[in-house]
Amino acid sequence: MSDKTPQKTVFKVIFLNQGKVYEVYAKEIAQSGMFGFIEIEGFIFGEKSAVVIDPSEERLKDEFNDVKRTYIPMHSIVRIDEVEKEGTAKISSIEGGSNQVVGFPGTFYNKPKTPNSDS
């Protein structure tokens, strides 16, 4: 017999939202019934007894305070990791980026040049 207790599964999900990088920890993730979305449920935040409080984690706690489950578009997901234990949830700026909306990666349409009538 094994004396080990079953480990709880923890997922670290990194996604983009309004020009920021969100890093959250959750108990469950799944492909949503809504096409093109990832479902995140059971958010995990740091201990309330911590002496040092991270302002970005507090913003996340406020944002997801009463959220039972959230749906993130697949194209916003940067990475999903199964980890041993939760870390500090945070919001950070995109390195070298701005607060402007970033377009979905892909080919861009270039308008064909029209011949100049002056030549």
* Helix, strand, coil in percent for the chain, rounding step 5: 10, 35, 55
Cut 0.85: pTM above it: no
Residue 111 lies in a domain: no
Residue 20 lies in a domain: yes
- Rounded alpha-carbon distances, angstroms, from residue 91 to 13, 20, 57, 114, 118: 12, 7, 7, 45, 53
pLDDT at 1: 47
Q: Give the DSSP H or E segment for 32.
A: none
pLDDT at 59: 84
**Which domain range does residue 54 map to?**
10-93
Q: How many domains does the chain have?
A: 1
Structure tokens at 118: 């002056």
Residue 16 lies in a domain: yes
Supply the CATH number for residue 21's domain.
Answer: 2.30.30
84-112: per-residue pLDDT in tens?
Answer: 888 888 888 877 655 555 555 554 455 56
Residue 84 lies in a domain: yes
Residue 57 reports pLDDT greater than 70: yes
Residue 113 lies in a domain: no
